Structure 1
């Protein structure tokens, strides 16, 4: 976690900004709000007979 506001430069050179007080950066790239974490990493697909 880092304290905001935060400017993040992405790999392609674009910059995104968050004005939130605390910001978590996404390391798993599952976030729909990448590069900021939306806790998508916590969602797991349960193993069933069809997808095992």
Structure 2
């Protein structure tokens, strides 16, 4: 699925999350498997914790217990 020069592929890099890629996309994984999505934006897992790898399932988010402060609350 090549991108045309008129519409280059946009990739957004977040601080602590997935890569957001404008689709449709075809992803070739390290083991040679190919994952395809025709969605307009896909989230690619960068932490490898996702059960749906290479797609992000938000497993990168730190899970907190009720009453526990997150990293964002302590800054």
Does TM, scored on the shorter chain, surpass 0.5?
yes
2:60 maps to 41
Q: How far has the Cα of 1:43 moved from its partner?
A: 4.0
Partners of 1:45 and 1:31 in 2: how far apart? 18
Q: TM-score, normalised by structure 1?
A: 0.74
Q: How does 1:5-24 map to 2 (within 5 A)?
A: 5-24=24-43
Unaligned stretches of 5+ residues in structure 1: 47-52
Moved over 3 A (4+): none
Please tell me whether Structure 1 or Structure 2 has the larger radius of gyration of its CA atoms: 2
**TM-score of the superposed pair, with normalisation by structure 2:** 0.54
Residue number in structure 2 paired with 1:50 = none
Aligned partner of residue 60 in structure 2, secondary structure? helix
- Hey, what does 1:30 align to over in structure 2? 49
* Matched residue count: 46
Structure 2: give runs of 5+ residues left out of the alignment.
1-19, 66-75
* Higher RCO, 1 vs 2 (CA within 8 Å, ≥6 residues apart): 1
